[in-house]
Structures are given as C-alpha cells and as structure tokens.
C-alpha cells in the first residue's frame, strides 16, 4: 500500500513539474491583437499587401487607446515578424476578433490568408471576416466617438454580430467561410463594411467565386439574399406597389426547395413562406380588402426580384445560395463538373406565400 501511494506521489510531482515548465503569457507583458486588415500593395507585385494590426492599450483612467502596427509583404507570416519588431512587447493573436480585407485583396484569392488563421491554434472559428468597401486599415484604425472604454476589434465584432442576430446578415465567420469554400455546390460570402461619419456600418454582402470577390449586393438584394439563403425572423421589406409605398417588418420567413429531377434541366423552385406585420401603407384611402391585395402584390414583387437576383448569380457563375448543395443532397448521381455546366441554364423559380398577421398605422 505504501509503495502504491509513493508511486502516485511521484507521478503527481512529475506532472506538476511539467506544468511548471509551460510558458505562461502575462497580459501586461504582451500585446493582444484584436483586429487585422489587409490592403493591396501593388509595389510588391500582384500578391503584395499591407497588413495592419491593432492592439488595445488600457490607460489608468479606464479608457482604451488603439495602437496600430503595419508591415508590407507577400506572406502573412512575414508581416507578423515585421510587426513584432515594431512593438515593445511580443504580439499575440489569441484575442483576434475581426479580419478585414480591401476589395482589391478580395478580388484575388483570399484563402491563402484565411488559411493562416486556420493554422493558428490560438484563433477560433468564430473569427469575423469582412470586406472593406474602400481602405481596410481605415476601418480598424478609426475609433468611433463614444467607445472610449472598448477596443476597436471588440466594437467591430459586436457591430457585425448585431447585424447577424438582428436578421440583417446571414451568419458568417471563419468556420462558415471555410465550409462554403470546400463545399461542392456552394460559394462563399462575407459582409461589406464601410465608414460613415467615422463609424463603421454594414453596407452589403460580398459574393465570391470560391475565394475571389465578384459582386456586392445592393439595397433590397441583401434582404432577398438573406431570405433565399436561410430562415429569417426580424427582417424589414419595402416596395412600391401600384404607385403606393408598402413597408412590412418583423418578417419571419422559411425557405424550402422543390427539386423534382436533380441533375437535369427540370426547373428548381425555391419556396418562401413569409409572415410579417404591415408597418406602413401610403394609400390614404385603402380598399376594404386591402390587406389581401397587398399580400398578393408582395408575393409578386418578392418572386420577380428574387428570380432577378438568382439570374444575376447564374450569369456571374456564382452559387452563393448553395443551390448546388441542395441538389447534391437529393441525388446519388451528383457530378460537380456536370452541375457547374448546367447551373447557368437551369430555370430557378421563386414562389412566395405572404401572410400579413396584423396591420399597422393605416388600420
């Protein structure tokens, strides 16, 4: 018994001594990056870029100052080494929350850069990726007024996640982007951010062919894209119907597919079941059954604009809605190359069913 207890004691001492040898990182002795950006640098060639990293610096009065470091290179790892040389403390990425790429960078292959995040064990799959409408470094180095006690990276992550939770953006992060990149029958997408009055805001959705930026949704396209991609719960939608302005909100929509003959030229139908509240109707003299009329008109409007968006994606050779993935899950005869050839010509219809539960200011 004593021998057994002695063995247990020796093992515990060995384990403890091993743990004591692990290198620890004291927060006061390191700089934790909260956001990074990548802008094209054509002086270094086609793949040259300027990488900028920002770290929070906590002042005695509890306010947070943003400190930035920049380096130019063709390799992400090299920029990390160069920025470390500029800092008085080692730079670590364990608290990285946002990575933003300029459109010029996004027009090239993004995956070599996102792959460096995947290979870093300190960076999680929840890392937010986004495309800057203009200069990416401006987004992370401009600190909006009123957030003195918060670092820029945390603020940007909260802003984008708020748009996702509010139903304005489809869910997106490093994990989602990587899944779509490798998936057969789907292409990637990321939010587009810009600055207005010194504050960042989401401007649209960047659509990619694999990992190359192709198109940015505008206005109502962003809402339709969200509805056609996944279930929604809090969207708003406005349209001009017979000269009258109609606005609905708190949209709850469910999307489903009818694919009768996968991997053929037979039409594909995307069904949208929409339930919403009527927020505003500009007609001062609505008819008795105006709600039913609006429902019918909204159905036609959603179908027309939805099919127009899908046709645009087909013409651009991008399947950001993952229609191919829907086909793949419904057939044993899936052929990626054959699908890519027929994708442009297959008729894809949108069938909407709108139900207005309660009228707003007019009734």
- Parallel, antiparallel, or unpaired for β 189-196 and 128-132? parallel
Residues 97, 157: Cα–Cα separation, whole Å: 6
Pairwise CA distance, residues 153 & 31, whole Å: 13
Find the length of the chain: 363
Across 206-233, average pLDDT: 94
Do 181 and 111 contact (CB within 8 A), yes or no? Answer: yes
Structure tokens at 207: 């659509």
pLDDT of 35 reads: 94
pLDDT of residue 15: 46
Phi/psi of residue 62, each to 5°? 75, 5
Taking Cα atoms as reference points, which of 180, 176, 148 lies closest to residue 160? 176
**Residue written as token pair 């909100």:** 249
Average pLDDT, the chain: 86
- State pLDDT tens for residues 56-104: 888 888 888 888 888 888 877 777 767 766 766 777 788 899 999 999 9
Q: Could you tell me the pLDDT band of residue 363, with boundaries at 50, 70 and 90?
A: very low
Q: Which of 291, 141, 311, 108 is nearest to 212 (CA)?
A: 108
pLDDT in the model for residue 107 = 94
pLDDT at 87: 67
The rounded percent of the chain whose pLDDT value lies above 90 is 55
d(CA 9, CA 358): 71
Q: Exposed, middle or buried, 293 (CB in 10 Å: 0-12/13-18/19+)?
A: middle
* pLDDT tier for residue 17 given thresholds of 50, 70 and 90: very low
Question: Angle 111-118/76-86 helices, nearest 10 degrees?
Answer: 60
* Cα separation, 254 vs 274, whole angstroms: 7
Give this prediction's pTM: 0.85
Q: What is the mean pLDDT of the segment spanning 168-196? A: 93
Mean pLDDT (whole number) for 311-325: 96
Would you state the pLDDT for residue 360?
A: 52
Say which residue, 87 or 209, is predicted with more confidence.
209
Q: Tell which wins on pLDDT, 343 or 31.
A: 343
Sorting pLDDT into bands at 50, 70 and 90, what band is 177? very high
Determine which helix (DSSP H) or strand (DSSP E) holds 141, and give its type and residue range: helix 136-141
Superfamily of domain 226-363: Nutrient germinant receptor protein C, domain 3 (3.30.300.210)
Domain spans of the chain, in order of start: 27-216, 226-363
Closest by alpha carbon to 225, among 249, 255, 247?
255
What's the pLDDT band for 24 if we cut at 50, 70, 90? very low
pLDDT digits (tens, 9 = 90+) for 99-132: 999 999 999 889 989 998 999 899 999 999 999 9
Q: Residue 23 gets which letter from DSSP? A: P
Q: In which band, very low, low, confident or very high, does the pLDDT at 362 lie, cut at 50, 70 and 90?
A: very low
pLDDT band at 20 (very low <50, low <70, confident <90, very high): very low
User: Could you tell me the pLDDT band of residue 288, with boundaries at 50, 70 and 90?
Assistant: low
């Amino acid at each position: 018994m004593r021998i057994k207890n002695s063995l247990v004691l020796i093992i515990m001492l060995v384990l403890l001594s091993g743990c004591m040898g692990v290198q620890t990182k004291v927060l006061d002795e390191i700089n934790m990056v909260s956001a990074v950006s990548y802008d094209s640098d054509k002086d270094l060639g086609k793949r040259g870029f300027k990488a900028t990293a920002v770290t929070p610096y906590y002042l005695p009065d509890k306010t947070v100052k943003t400190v930035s470091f920049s380096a130019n290179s063709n390799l992400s790892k090299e920029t990390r080494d160069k920025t470390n040389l500029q800092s008085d403390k080692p730079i670590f990425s364990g608290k990285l929350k946002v990575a933003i790429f300029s459109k010029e960078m996004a027009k090239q292959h993004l995956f070599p850069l996102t792959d460096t995040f995947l290979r870093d064990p300190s960076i999680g799959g929840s890392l937010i990726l986004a495309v800057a409408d203009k200069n990416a470094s401006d987004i992370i180095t401009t600190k909006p007024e009123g957030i003195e006690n918060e670092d820029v990276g945390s603020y940007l992550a909260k802003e984008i996640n708020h748009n996702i939770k509010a139903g304005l953006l489809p869910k997106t992060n490093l994990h989602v982007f990587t899944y779509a990149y490798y998936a057969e029958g789907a292409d990637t997408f990321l939010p587009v951010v810009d600055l207005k009055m010194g504050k960042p805001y989401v401007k649209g959705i960047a659509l990619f062919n694999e990992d190359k930026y192709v198109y940015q949704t505008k206005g109502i396209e962003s809402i339709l894209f969200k509805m056609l991609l996944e279930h929604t719960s809090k969207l708003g939608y406005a349209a001009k119907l017979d000269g009258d302005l109609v606005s609905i909100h708190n949209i709850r929509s469910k999307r489903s597919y009818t694919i009768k003959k996968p991997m053929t030229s037979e039409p594909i139908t995307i069904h949208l079941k929409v339930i919403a509240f009527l927020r505003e109707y500009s007609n001062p003299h609505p008819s008795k059954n105006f709600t039913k009329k609006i429902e019918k008109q909204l159905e036609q409007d959603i179908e027309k604009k939805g099919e127009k968006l899908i046709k645009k994606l087909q013409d651009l050779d991008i399947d950001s809605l993952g229609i191919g993935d829907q086909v793949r899950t419904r057939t044993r005869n899936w052929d990626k190359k054959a699908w890519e050839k027929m994708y442009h010509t297959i008729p894809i219809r949108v069938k909407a069913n709108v139900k207005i539960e309660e009228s707003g200011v007019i009734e």
